Structure 1
């Protein structure tokens, strides 16, 4: 060792510190890689991504080769630093050399390279994979022995490192990814993706047209009334009942029957014969399930029934699609909105406005598994049918009943939320 020039020892020490920095940065970079982006790049043919993905399939082996190399380099650097210290100052310089080497390795071989790797993982991980892969094959026996001992210790605690972990995103995690995508995904597309994630939280009752608002044909009406109703209908399909609305006879396709109706070729008997078989939907069916059911049954409209077989409402495939993409219908009857913004910042809402729409448009956080409409929400909160002028708080939003009709709230005014004085909303 005395034959080695001091300058060569300094060169070796600097080279070892650089190697230590490479091992440290490659470890952080590979572990910081976005697994989903890595998988995407690998499938697109990125060779560095493929090698990195292959290494990450067995993280115990990857960590083994990195730590094996890093520890070997650091120990060798310590030995070289000791030789340099002995030559320069004898045994008295060993303590100073040890402290100085620790500081140099900490800054230049650990903190700085690992910080860089955390900020730019792909730039470091992909080139490092080209070197770590062959190095792992060369030193595999030593890595295997090291991992065998380490994994045996982990198995004592019930951990099995040899089983590949499958990292999957939960719905809420996927929602966070979509929200944080920023400019990578247009705002409208983000809203659509989030709406798709919410489909399994909603049921057909959340978006249905309730039975008291159904436009339906009663076969017990006189023919002139039925004919006028069909000609003036804004809908393509109309439920047909005889007597009580629960006694559904079928569904009339208005467009197919309109020409015959106008020319007088269709009468009551022909109307009955042209009815399509009604399609019934059990209440409580999730929207994502019903969308698939519509597709498999090749239907566009269904009648919702409760456990007793009584009609509760109607839902169409268009209603479900609007939950995803927003309102797109040009149906004249749908141009009347349930929630109207006012110049003073308040909103006028009809009693049939859905709780889901209130949550979405006004930022309410009312659970959607209770009452489905504003009217139901008010009645449940007050436990009585309110008089016009009654004011109270729902979810910190002041609500004033403006108009009632028989046993329901027809119109209410909704104000912006008040500052939370307490967590409880109190009637006023």
Structure 2
């Protein structure tokens, strides 16, 4: 009977070790799958009625407790398997059994309980998370009290060394996390370049102000209300725009906005006799918005007022420019053109890789046109960027190098830089 008992022990030991390794693989794979699962996909599946996704979302709301339960379970079964294997091998081989047990368990745990389950989980985290969600919830419930006690103990220890565990807020804002995720997916080939730009433009709306995208007053096309009705009609017909600000006395005194369609209706009503028109009565009241308004707020305001056109003023009430719904949408989808648009002037690429740019060209427009990344936080236009970096108003012919580009001032009018040549140094090392 004694010989039978000895022969049966190795098989029992093997079964116990295999069972412990399977549990360890479960804990390792579950931790990896649940922490790597897509929160957005889980929320979408929960909204579609998937109960397993709801369990995953509840587990992730208490992430510390989830990870604590997985670690406790993993360590318990690993230590138990190692201790049992060591006792069995020591009985069979004497003191040398300790070495055999250490080597055997190290290989088994690393390969079958760590690397293999985590590799499977990280390759298909969503599917693995849904599959393991229910048993993981049972484990978390089982180890819940112990996990809470350990959390409290850890917090107390960390407070003693000056670390507040409650200050676990992410350094990145939600928009930065989304931007980083989109950039990563773009590099991996999951997001097309145009989609990446659209995502970036959408996230930028919260950070940009109308002053960043407005048409500057020096480029505004306006009409004097003091002209005769016939001249105003000719000006409107020759303009590529449907909405034109009306001014009286001085160009800064905007008294209304004339819509070409309203003008045509009024012209039809008087049988085409422009002399009978009262242009000021046809014009709409101007809408003025502060230059510090965010693009998100301005977009909401456009939708609420059901209008596409606003004049931008500074803190003193002076007109700085105008902004349209199209200007905001172009931040998301890129340049919008129709058959009446005038081709944007001011950016002229040269064969050697350099670009001649008018000083009034916005930095964001140049970045979009050339796929560059010049900073636009401190200046709206290219000329403003050069002046900001140079800390002076440069003279014609001066050359500056910053942000990986070479800037040469080609023309200057009084205190305004009117033309520059920009050369990317990475593309033209000789420059």
2:392 match: 383
Between stretches 113-122 and 216-225, larger displacement belongs to 113-122
Worse overlay, 47-56 or 227-236: 47-56
List gaps (5 residues or longer) in structure 1.
422-427
Alignment partners' CA distance in 1, 2:166 and 2:332: 42
Can you list the C-alpha shifts for 1:155-175, whole angstroms capped at 9, x where unaligned? 424699999999995222211
Distance 1:306 1:136 in 2: 58
SS in 2 for 1:267: helix
Alignment map for 1:48-87 (pairs within 5 Å): 48-59=52-63, 61-63=65-67, 65-67=69-71, 69-78=73-82, 80-82=84-86, 84-85=88-89
Shift, 1:354, TM fit: 0.8
Equivalent-residue separation in structure 2 for 1:342 and 1:420 (angstroms): 12
Q: Within 2, Cα distance between the matches of 1:256 and 1:367?
A: 41
- Out of 366, 372, 375, the residue aligned to residue 358 of structure 1 is 366
Aligned twin of 2:240: 234
- The answer to whether the Cα contact below 8 Å between 2:223 and 2:244 also exists between their aligned partners in 1 is yes
Q: Is the 8 A contact 1:151 1:160 kept in 2?
A: no
| Alpha-carbon distance between aligned partners in 1 of 2:313 and 2:62, rounded to the nearest angstrom | 54
Deviation string 1:84-105 (CA, Å, 9 cap, x unpaired) is: 335533x444434432444244
The alignment status of 1:202 with 2:199, answered yes or no, reads: no
Q: Which residue of the partner structure matches residue 409 of structure 1? A: 417
Counterpart contact for 2:267–2:277, Cα < 8 Å: no
Query: Is 1:288 aligned with 2:296?
Result: yes
Question: Which residue in the other structure is 2:335 paired with?
Answer: 327
Q: CA deviation at 1:325?
A: 0.9
Verify: 1:111 aligned to 2:111, yes or no: no
Residue 274 (structure 1) aligned to one of 267, 282, 292: 282
Give 3-state SS (helix, strand or coil) of 1:303's partner.
strand
Gap runs ≥5 in structure 2: none
Inter-partner Cα distance in structure 2 for 1:368 and 1:164: 32
- Alpha carbons 2:211, 2:291 under 8 Å: kept: yes
Alpha-carbon distance in structure 2 between the residues aligned to 1:165 and 1:367: 28
**Structure 1 pair 267–118 and aligned structure 2 pair: CA distance change class (3 A):** same
> 2:353–2:427: 8 Å Cα contact kept in structure 1?
no
Secondary structure, aligned partner of 2:244: strand
Asked if the contact 2:21/2:113 (under 8 Å) is kept, the reply is: no
Under a length normalisation based on structure 1, what TM-score does the superposition of the two structures give?
A: 0.82
Q: Specify the alignment match of 1:317 in structure 2.
A: 325
Q: Secondary structure, in 3 states, of the residue corresponding to 1:337?
A: coil
Taking only aligned residues, the RMSD between alpha carbons, in angstroms, comes to 3.7
* Counterpart-to-counterpart distance in 2, 1:7 and 1:379: 82
Aligned to 1:424: none
CA contact (8 A) 1:81 1:97 kept: no
Which range is displaced more, 397-406 or 306-315? 397-406
How far the C-alpha of 1:125 sits from its partner, in A, is 3.7
Identify the residue that residue 425 of structure 1 maps to in structure 2. none
CA offsets 1:281-318 (integer angstroms, 9 cap, x no match): 11222222211122222221111122222222111111
Residues in 1 aligned to 2:170 and 2:416: alpha-carbon distance in whole angstroms: 52
- After superposing the two structures, state which structure 1 stretch, 364-373 or 305-314, moved more: 364-373
Q: How many pairs does the alignment contain?
A: 416
What is the aligned counterpart of 2:263 among 257, 279, 287?
257
2-side partners of 1:195 and 1:88: how far apart? 69
In structure 2, what is the equivalent of residue 147 of structure 1? 147
1:356 deviates by 1.8
Residue 227 of structure 1 deviates from its aligned partner by: 3.4
- C-alpha contact 1:302 1:316 (8 A) present in aligned 2: yes
Report the CA distance between 1:240 and its aligned residue.
Answer: 0.9
Helix, strand or coil at the partner of 2:205: helix
Name which of structure 1's ranges 351-360 and 33-42 shifts more when overlaid on structure 2: 33-42
> Offset of 1:402 from its aligned partner?
3.6
Deviates more, 1:294-303 or 1:222-231: 222-231
Aligned partner of 1:11 in structure 2 is: 14
Q: Do the aligned residues in 2 keep the contact of 1:52 with 1:126 (CA within 8 Å)? A: yes
Contact between 1:78 and 1:101, CA under 8 Å: does it hold in 2? no
Q: CA deviation at 1:371?
A: 3.4
Q: Could you tell me which residue of structure 2 aligns to residue 246 of structure 1?
A: 252
Q: Provide, for residues 15-48 of structure 1, a one-character-per-residue CA deviation record: whole Å limited to 9, x for no partner.
A: 3333333333333333333333333333334454
Query: Higher mean Cα deviation, 250-259 or 14-23?
Result: 14-23
Preserved CA contact (<8 Å) 2:69 2:144: no
Structure 2 SS opposite 1:212: coil
Contact 1:58/1:162 (8 A) holds in 2: no
How far apart, CA to CA, are the structure 2 residues paired with 1:167 and 1:130?
A: 32
- Given the alignment of the two structures, is residue 43 of structure 1 paired with residue 51 of structure 2, yes or no? no
When structure 1 is superposed on structure 2, of 292-301 and 41-50 the one drifting more is: 41-50
Offset from partner CA, 1:363-386 (integer Å, 9 cap, x none): 655542433223334455373463
Residue of structure 2 in register with 1:302 after alignment: 310
Question: What is the distance in 1 between the residues matched to 2:29 and 2:36?
Answer: 10
Change (3 A) 1:243 1:120: same
Closer, same or farther: CA 261–410 of 1 in aligned 2, 3 Å: farther
